[in-house]
């Protein structure tokens, strides 16, 4: 595990709550906040030498740590913030009109019901579209433009959002997160078919 690896933080009930860096994780260990570990990988932080024993201190930080003082989360009352990077990741960098994959800069956020027609800028009304398809669709609904949507836009759950927000997710972390999302989630299929 590399130093800048994100650590998955759980509450004491074992619910994933967020990504933390190794410094935050170290502080949680030193303040005795870590109640148990769930990962199968570690990073070792090296500290200073002890003057009497001349042994060097070190701290093993697990890839998944459960911490105390976190109340049970209300998973239903979660509204993830909408950004292009998480939106494109939700749709696997695929244009939901032509079905092709594109790089980040070739993609755009399309409002299924256009803003000009009262459509909202929210997860369930936005899809990833290549710039060409977005231009072609213009200020029309998919029906009016005669363009079929390849998938229904959805708002990510708290755990799905953690998957979309993760930079480099380790295999054990992904396995843990996947076990906390619905089998009917498009992300479940995508990440279990690797």
Would you tell me which residues interact with Zn ion (CB under 5 A)?
95, 97-98, 130, 133
Q: Which is nearer to Zn ion, 97 or 161 (CB)?
A: 97
Q: Which is nearer to Zn ion, 47 or 99 (CB)?
A: 99
Minimal distance, residue 153 CB to Zn ion, in Å: 15
Minimal distance, residue 142 CB to Zn ion, in Å: 12
Residue among 79, 84, 90, 187 at smallest CA distance from 134: 84
Minimal distance, residue 83 CB to Zn ion, in Å: 20
Q: Which is nearer to Zn ion, 110 or 160 (CB)?
A: 110
Q: Rounded distance, CA 189 to CA 97, Å?
A: 20
Counting DSSP H helices and E strands in the chain, the numbers are 7, 8
SS3 for 3?
coil
Q: Rounded distance, CA 123 to CA 168, Å?
A: 23
Minimal distance, residue 130 CB to Zn ion, in Å: 3
Q: Rounded distance, CA 74 to CA 82, Å?
A: 20
Q: Which is nearer to Zn ion, 106 or 121 (CB)?
A: 106
């Amino acid at each position: 595990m590399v130093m800048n690896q994100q650590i998955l933080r759980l509450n004491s009930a074992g619910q994933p709550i967020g990504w933390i860096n190794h410094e935050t994780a170290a502080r949680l260990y030193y303040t005795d906040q870590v109640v148990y570990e769930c990962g199968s990988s570690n990073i070792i932080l090296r500290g200073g030498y002890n003057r009497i024993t001349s042994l060097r201190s070190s701290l093993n930080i697990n890839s998944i740590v459960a911490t105390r003082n976190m109340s049970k989360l209300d998973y239903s009352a979660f509204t993830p913030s909408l950004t292009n990077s998480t939106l494109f990741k939700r749709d696997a960098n695929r244009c939901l009109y032509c079905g092709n994959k594109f790089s980040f800069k070739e993609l755009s956020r399309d409002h299924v019901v256009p803003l000009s027609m009262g459509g909202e800028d929210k997860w369930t009304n936005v899809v990833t579209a290549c710039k060409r398809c977005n231009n072609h669709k213009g200020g029309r609904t998919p029906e009016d433009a005669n363009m079929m949507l390849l998938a229904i836009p959805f708002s990510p759950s708290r755990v799905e959002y953690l998957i979309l927000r993760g930079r480099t997710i380790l295999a054990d972390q992904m396995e843990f997160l996947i076990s906390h999302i619905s089998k009917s989630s498009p992300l479940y299929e995508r990440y279990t078919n690797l």
